[in-house]
Amino acid sequence: MRKPLLRIPYTDILPSPTTIPSSATTLPGALAALHNFFRSPAPKGLPPSTVVLSGAGLSVASGLADYRGDKGTYRVNKTYRPIYYHEFLSSHEARKRYWARSFLGWSSLHNAKPNSGHHAVRDLGELGLVSSVVTQNVDSFHPRAHPDLPTLELHGYLRATVCTSCWNEYPRDTFQDELARLNPVWAAFLKEVVASGALATEDPDEKRAKGIRMNPDGDVELPEAPYTTFRYPACPHCLAHPPTLADGSRGLVEVDHEGAWSHSNTAGILKPAVVMFGESISHKVKQSAEGAVDNAGRMLVLATSLATYSAWRLAKRAKDRGMPIAIVNLGGVRGEDTFFAHMDPQQTGAEGVRVEMSTENLLPTLVDELRRTQTPGTNALPGPAVSLKQSNGVVFKDMLS
């Protein structure tokens, strides 16, 4: 395979962070800093609400791997690299490999549930403190945990597949059933793996001991697996109505007698409804993400190193607008000094917070503290009340319809 032209960013360990304020190294100190972050009025001219920007570390407590944590994919599997978008589109063999691994990993992702961190974000919304969420995660935990709090899935979602020709979407569950029908030997193997408990454990070391590597995007790697035998279907709409290609010709979409993809096809490729590595985020999603930042007065960054530029630029946009930023993440964050430059060294959280703690433990405790200290008879802390109805959730209406 030709060496990829795209480089995976920041796979090495990032520099350790500086805790801000310095008292936030303990749980009480971190709670006090974040309490001040939420309680203090937003800078003049900015809305009083907070936008959350989250990453893969938030889902670790749900049993999923992250990318750059201590036991993240880039740490424990030095040979791992995601499939590139151009590879997926151009190579039948690459798609076989991708869908075989996804087939094995789907049951674990499908059965996983939002954890206390996701539910704490829901509670912050119900307290009137968070108006919207922008997540890099593709596991759908945010919309499941807080369906009434607007969520923009910056990098898409694994709960569906999408055709690269007609752009129709199909439920991933239905697609999984088709993959099982077309690959009975693989389906039988998956049942054996599930029965062994290898997919049920949340310990990545135990999974590796059983010959399995689970990645954050929901796929399972099996060394020496015969991926070339795997079969997958074509887009049913394009199969019935072959599309017109860019050159004006009619696309070829055919399947064998059992419904498996024909290698001669020129259209009807189904892909996961995520932004694959090397694929661009749509202009519509970019605009919605920027709108979420622009309609808030603070940003809370949760469980992400901001290694991908699509996320980092949103934090930088918040900084450029004068928004206080709080970061809760285990390990370093890309260019984080930028977000805390020119800050009063004596400030206690109102201007910014940097905490190196687990969201699983910190966020629920923070919610309890905020509830305890909120003004009786109100839906928010002392200061300007934040109404979800006034949070300009309209930015998301097209994304959620």
| CA-closest candidate to residue 54, choices 351, 329, 394 | 329
Catalytic residue among 142, 155, 257, 283: 155
CA distance 163 to 400: 19
Query: If you ran DSSP here, which 8-state letter would residue 168 be given?
Result: -
353 contacts 298 by C-beta, under 8 angstroms: no
Longest distance between any two alpha carbons in the chain, whole Å: 72
Query: If you ran DSSP here, which 8-state letter would residue 277 be given?
Result: B
Tokens 């899935």 sit on residue: 153
| CA-closest candidate to residue 186, choices 95, 260, 256, 103 | 103
- E strand or H helix at 237: helix 236-240
Q: Which amino acid is at 377?
A: G
Residue 155 falls in the annotated catalytic set: yes
Tokens 């909120």 sit on residue: 374
Query: If you ran DSSP here, which 8-state letter would residue 23 be given?
Result: G
Contacts 24+ apart (CB under 8 A), 92-95: 92/261, 92/263, 93/227, 93/228, 95/232, 95/261, 95/269
CA distance 379 to 90: 53
CA distance 267 to 238: 7
| Torsion sign over Cα 135, 137, 138, 139 | negative
CA distance 2 to 258: 33
Taking the CA atoms of residue 370, residue 69, residue 341 and residue 134 in that order, the dihedral angle to the nearest 10 degrees is -60
Helix 27-39 vs helix 359-373: crossing angle, to nearest 10:
60
Q: Which amino acid is at 261?
A: W
Any idea which residues carry the catalytic annotation? 155
